Amino acid sequence: MMQGIIKTLKNGFGFITPIVADGQMAKDLFFHASGVVGEFNDLREGDQVTFDEVPSERGGMKAANVTKMAANDNGGMAADDQMAA
């Protein structure tokens, strides 16, 4: 399971910026609302999430099993606070 930050949200899909070793950011991954655990409408840009990287039907990779992290899952800081730190 990987971690990332919601970069953009549109009508039923979005993009996640994965967080890799040493806090560096990797190439953004597409995700569809059908790949969200819970409600797509509960996600906001800047939210920290966990996800699995899986092959896309169109080639390349996408995010699946996208789950919003609770505040205490990221050291007790909200995603906005973490991004500012």
- The pLDDT assigned to 20 comes to 84
- Does residue 34 contact residue 42 with C-beta atoms inside 8 Å? no
- The pLDDT assigned to 73 comes to 60
Number of domains in the chain: 1
Which amino acid type is present at position 13? F
- The pLDDT assigned to 82 comes to 46
Query: What backbone phi and psi angles, to 5 degrees, belong to 75?
Result: 80, 20
Averaged over successive runs of 10 residues, the pLDDT of the chain (85 residues) comes to 95 94 81 96 96 94 96 52 47
Domain limits for position 28: 2-84
Q: Which residues contact 78 (CB under 8 A, 6 or more apart)?
A: 71
- The pLDDT assigned to 29 comes to 96
* CATH code, 47: 2.40.50.140
